[in-house]
A = this chain, B = another copy of it.
Amino acid sequence: MAKTKLISPHGSDELKVLLLEGKERDAELKRAEGLPKIVMTTRETGDLIMLGIGGFTPLEGFMGKADWKGVCQDMKLSNGVFWPIPVTLSHDKKLDAGAEVCLVSGETNEIMGTMKVTESYQIDKDFECKHVFGTTETEHPGVQKVMAQKDWNLAGPVKVLSESYFPKEFKGIYQRPAESRKIFEEKGWKTIAALQLRNPMHRSHEYLAKIAVEVSDGIYIHQLVGKLKPGDIPADVRVKCIDTLVENYFDKERVVQGGYPLDMRYAGPREGLLHAVFRQNFGCTHMIIGRDHAGVGNYYGPFDAQEIFHNLWDGALECKMLPIDWTFWCYKCGGMASMKTCPHAKEDRLFLSGTALRKALSEGGEVPAEFSRTEVLAILREYYAGLKDDEKVEVKLHGHATGDAKVDKKK
């Protein structure tokens, strides 16, 4: 039998790591200090770090116009490689080709990298938003960010000089693709499913993860530690929730946890595809796509993100989708179930809207253990207790309302 070999990175035989280290980094950093500064948003900074650690293999920098247009329109780079979402850098003026610039984080003022400009171009933002988000409505938090971009996009290969605060602030969670790959190799895993998380992990997420464990060698619980929309639960709280869940309810040998530095774009289906692309770079063979993956509000149908995977051309993407239906506890089934496995009525199922959960957690109401493990609820209660009243208002669990609380339903 052939020796176990991990899945190749996307569109490349090896990870394209653009992060410099040691002396090479020192020299480039010194050089950067003398270059004109471009200030990046958190989304651009997150993208740059992903370029640095090889999470965006095979990209070598921010996209030029041909790539941008191909990606928006056909999900295809100009070299034919599949890519679902533009990775671009904006600036308020045109720069000449050949210009060298220093890339600075607008959040921390740290020098993050350098770029050799190959192209400055203007884009039709409506065109991008329509293709990528399916909407141009500025209430959409992803559209908002695109519309707020400056007038020019700068393209070119990058050298990355820092991973910002992520390695320190999310120590033990933040991970490079080379690190997760090493762990998978050491474990001898061949089939690995990735679970995308940006919300606290309740029993429905646990169920997704456990189905994946049943049918794969292991699960990669891969959490977003970049920026969400205002009011979402912060990453450190979410990390604690996952930790306690893994500690108490998983075979730890079957779970690897990791965090990645991107901002949410809330691009729904397109972002689901991007999630699979970079999970492949992290070494995963499967990407779990559940209900309303990477969605927000009611912009996407609950299973649009599954549908889009079915419509890719052959060979577009090696990492396969593991589609799972809408999951919940069913009192008649006497267990976790999904719309695919449970035949019972709505009244037999436990649904909790974000509003009801928020209210219960912040006002001390009961939340059934069939919705969320008591250990997880305790952490969330503590977090809500520490919030000021005006901070509580914005907190939302999901874009789609999931029905009313049924906290008094007994088994």
Contact = CB atoms under 8 A, between A and B. Distances in A.
B341 A1 contact: no
Given A211-B214, A338-B214, A343 B249 contact: yes
A252 interface: yes
Interface in A309-352: 310-311, 322, 324-325, 333-343
A310 B339 CA distance: 32
A210 interface: yes
A109 B343 CA distance: 45
B214 A341 contact: yes
B341 A251 contact: yes
12 contacts: A210-B341, A214-B324, A215-B215, A215-B324, A248-B343, A249-B343, A250-B341, A251-B339, A251-B340, A334-B369, A334-B370, A335-B336
Given A250-B343, A252-B343, A334-B369, 4 more contacts: A210-B337, A210-B341, A213-B341, A215-B322
A392 to B, nearest CB: 29
Interface residues of A, number: 30
Nearest to A333: B249
Interface in A261-303: none
B1 A343 contact: no
B340 A213 contact: yes
Contacts of A343: 248-252
Contact of A214 (B310, B340, B370): B340
A310 B3 CA distance: 12
A341 B336 CA distance: 14
Nearest to A286: B215
Contacts of A339: 251
A313 to B, nearest CB: 9
A343 B247 CA distance: 9
A190 to B, nearest CB: 10
Contacts of A341: 210, 213-214, 250-251, 254
B211 A211 contact: yes
B254 A340 contact: yes
A379 to B, nearest CB: 19
A388 B375 CA distance: 52
Of A210, A336, A369, the most chain B CB neighbours within 10 A belong to A210
B1 A214 contact: no
Contacts of A251: 339-343
